[in-house]
Copies of this chain bind each other. A is one copy, B any other.
Amino acid sequence: MSELSRAERRQRTERRILDTARELFAQRGFERTTIRAVAQAAEVDPALVMQYYGSKQRLFDAAVRVAEPPAGEAGPEELIEELLGSLDVKLGELPPASLAMMRSMLTHPEAAASARGVLGRQIERVGRSLPGERARLRAALMTMIMLGVAVGHQLLELDELRDVPPEDIARLLRPCLQALSEG
């Protein structure tokens, strides 16, 4: 039937485990996601998950590794659009890796550290290209605004934010971010 070399099958299995884990971590968090559940959803023996990823924590690390935006400089207006677009709203859905990290960041220490890292870098990036005083603090508030909306929208799934076109949210949020962007 399927003409797959051993190496190919092996890579496919490993990736299937990783994708399944990401999804489960994203929707249940670290503690409620068991190796056994990942294995079952990936149609694999639990021991295989361990063999490939070493431990549940390392599986989680691999699952939440997230691509960060390029390090180039940008003006405040572009950064606002980047915030509105990349962090959450415009696409209507965050990448599963980000969701997985966010889901566990309040209850799993390692996820919290990871989130602090990502958010810290974004704050620094935004703050560096912000004019006026207290740039870092204002950048932090801008970032937390986006985080709050993302949490309510994608993790808590509040009725009031459901089925709202991302454009509408972006349009309402823009003045808030601009107010913080200017002194």
The residues of A with any CB-CB pair to B shorter than 8 Å are: 28-32, 102-107, 112, 115-116, 119-120, 123, 134, 136-141, 143-149, 151-153, 155-156, 158-161, 164, 168-169, 172-173, 175-177, 179-180
Interface of A is mostly: helix
Residues of B within 8 A of A32 (CB): 31, 107
Q: Chain B's nearest CB lies how many Å from the CB of A24?
A: 12
Residue pair A141, B116 in contact (C-beta under 8 Å): no
Closest to A174 in B: B179
Residue pair B137, A164 in contact (C-beta under 8 Å): yes
Residues of B within 8 A of A105 (CB): 106, 156
Question: A120 CA to B157 CA in the complex, in Å?
Answer: 11
Residue pair A112, B156 in contact (C-beta under 8 Å): yes
Residue pair A144, B134 in contact (C-beta under 8 Å): no
Q: Chain B's nearest CB lies how many Å from the CB of A52?
A: 25
Closest to A113 in B: B156
| Residue from B30, B116, B140, B158 in contact with A120 in the complex, judged by beta carbons closer than 8 Å | B158
Given contact pairs A116-B156, A120-B159, A175-B176, a sample of 19 additional A-B residue pairs in the complex whose CB atoms are under 8 Å apart? A30-B107, A31-B107, A103-B106, A104-B107, A106-B151, A115-B156, A119-B156, A120-B160, A141-B173, A144-B152, A144-B161, A145-B145, A145-B148, A146-B148, A147-B148, A147-B152, A151-B151, A172-B180, A176-B176
